[in-house]
Chain A
């Protein structure tokens, strides 16, 4: 399981991941486990650029052959980019959830409180506990 939970990312219990970029912004997506549970994705709705998202707020919708599911923003800040390729190729999210399947990039609020994100080990543990 751990090979599908990269060590250099942070996670949420609701199966989102966060990558710190050199610019100080963060990139957000959903985990390998999330895409696998959903099955083949057929629609992905990403947030508009410049939208402000709050930690815990629904910011995207991923819809698979099986179910529609909200994605909750792991962080608070302004959306500076969202992945336009997913509109035409939702399968990118199945094929490469930590790379080409990213959902949005966020400029964090300066005043944002320290977040309660999980480390890779902590997230892997929540998956093991659920099995």
Chain B
């Protein structure tokens, strides 16, 4: 038996197929992963993401601490509730984890980190927090439900604490607000609008049932993966890890090199990597039948004379691949030599298949952004 969220019993009685996910017993789907995917793109779906780890950081010097700890710069956060996506790097520039940081007050920031990395993250954060006298507290008392889709906000608002409904409609994208004992953030991992709600664990089952009664479809980790990949969002452990830095993981936009005076862990290594160049993370669309999957090898399509003369031909590897229910095609993220494409070949079960290099995201707000 694995770890279980406060909603485990609800999933089982809802007919979920349960799988092990990083030591957690989590719902893979409640019947059809593809139907759950479409529910989120076309209407509203919800995910139990209580396995993710909420960490509250408090202390007078917490902002100063986070400016050292994170590759993105929390100096950008000035309005309470404002959120920022960032990588947390090791001194080599490798990604220890990706996370969201919320600014609550000048002495209180909240992090949401991945489930599978919680122990090493807590250790790393605590070690570096000590000199700043920042208190690190894991909020195991909270559950988290992500409600996503074009109708997610409209269907969720009537269930919020009465005093908070008007405020909830005013939450800006990528920020959150405390509404009674709930923290409601307009963030997500699907490329659709919606809320991520952190709430007391004991409220979670009743909230889930009430959301379902509003017509919000329960969705599992299977749909969560196809949705995030269509949205061009990375998955930690697949698309980046401690051996890969953000610049070769499609995450250069999350690294705040300016201001140059700010020291952050990994900065020196990233500065060197930026000068050296290296592989890049791109999107792939498969032009044929089949499904792209992690670790498939990517090669240049048709040896051009320039390719043939190189000591090492351009090459790459799929880091995340799936079937896109919205595009009805297979899509992937792949780490490839810079400048490769647009036409490439992917080795699928021993046979070369034609694919095209594209710029993610593939789908946003229900719309295909890639021509098929």
A65→B289 contact, CB < 8 A: no
| A39–B28 alpha-carbon span in the complex (Å) | 10
Point out the residue from B28, B29, B349 that lies within 8 Å of A68, measured CB to CB.
Answer: B349
B289→A43 contact, CB < 8 A: yes
Check A82 for interface membership: any CB of B closer than 8 A: no
A94 nearest CB neighbor, chain B only:
B32
B290→A65 contact, CB < 8 A: no
A65→B322 contact, CB < 8 A: yes
| A51–B42 alpha-carbon span in the complex (Å) | 43
- A65-B33 contact in complex given A39-B222, A43-B289, A43-B290, C-beta closer than 8 Å: yes
CB of A53 to closest CB in B, whole Å: 19
Mask of B22-43 contacts with A, CB within 8 angstroms, 1/0: 0000001100111000000000
Interface of B is mostly: mixed
Contacts of A91 in B (CB 8 A): 34
| A18–B290 alpha-carbon span in the complex (Å) | 26
A42→B222 contact, CB < 8 A: no
Contacts of A66 in B (CB 8 A): 222
Contacts of B222 in A (CB 8 A): 39, 65-66
A66 nearest CB neighbor, chain B only:
B222
A63→B290 contact, CB < 8 A: yes
Check B323 for interface membership: any CB of A closer than 8 A: yes
Contacts of B322 in A (CB 8 A): 65
B226 nearest CB neighbor, chain A only:
A65
CB of B291 to closest CB in A, whole Å: 5
CB of A37 to closest CB in B, whole Å: 10
User: Which residues of B1-46 have CB atoms within 8 Å of chain A's CB atoms?
Assistant: 28-29, 32-34
Contacts of B293 in A (CB 8 A): 67-68
| A68–B323 alpha-carbon span in the complex (Å) | 11
CB of A79 to closest CB in B, whole Å: 20
Q: How many residues of A sit at the interface, in one of the four size bands?
A: 10 to 19
Mask of B322-357 contacts with A, CB within 8 angstroms, 1/0: 110000000000000000000000000100000000
| A105–B226 alpha-carbon span in the complex (Å) | 34
| A39–B291 alpha-carbon span in the complex (Å) | 14
Check A107 for interface membership: any CB of B closer than 8 A: no
Contacts of A42 in B (CB 8 A): 34, 291, 323
CB of B275 to closest CB in A, whole Å: 41
A39→B323 contact, CB < 8 A: no
CB of B89 to closest CB in A, whole Å: 32
CB of A68 to closest CB in B, whole Å: 6
Mask of A28-42 contacts with B, CB within 8 angstroms, 1/0: 000000000001101
Contacts of B226 in A (CB 8 A): 65
| A65–B323 alpha-carbon span in the complex (Å) | 6
Contacts of A43 in B (CB 8 A): 289-291, 323
- A39-B33 contact in complex given A65-B323, A68-B349, C-beta closer than 8 Å: yes
A40→B349 contact, CB < 8 A: no
| A131–B245 alpha-carbon span in the complex (Å) | 41
Most buried by B among A40, A63, A67, A68: A40
B29→A63 contact, CB < 8 A: no
Mask of B197-227 contacts with A, CB within 8 angstroms, 1/0: 0000000000000000000000000100010
CB of A66 to closest CB in B, whole Å: 7
Point out the residue from A63, A65, A67 that lies within 8 Å of B34, measured CB to CB.
Answer: A65
Contacts of B34 in A (CB 8 A): 40, 42, 65, 91
| A33–B290 alpha-carbon span in the complex (Å) | 23
| A65–B289 alpha-carbon span in the complex (Å) | 13
Q: Which are the 3 A-B pairs with shortest beta-carbon distances?
A: A42-B323, A40-B34, A40-B33
Starting from the known contacts A42-B323, A65-B33, 9 additional A-B residue pairs (CB-CB under 8 Å) come to: A39-B28, A39-B33, A40-B34, A42-B34, A43-B289, A43-B323, A65-B34, A66-B222, A68-B291
What residues make up the interface of A, taking CB atoms closer than 8 Å to B? Answer: 39-40, 42-43, 45, 63, 65-68, 91, 94
What residues make up the interface of B, taking CB atoms closer than 8 Å to A? Answer: 28-29, 32-34, 222, 226, 289-291, 293, 322-323, 349
Provide 25 A-B residue pairs closer than 8 Å at the C-beta atoms, listed in order of the A residue: A39-B28, A39-B29, A39-B222, A40-B32, A40-B34, A42-B34, A42-B291, A42-B323, A43-B290, A43-B291, A45-B289, A63-B290, A63-B291, A63-B323, A65-B33, A65-B222, A65-B226, A65-B322, A65-B323, A66-B222, A67-B293, A68-B290, A68-B293, A68-B349, A94-B32
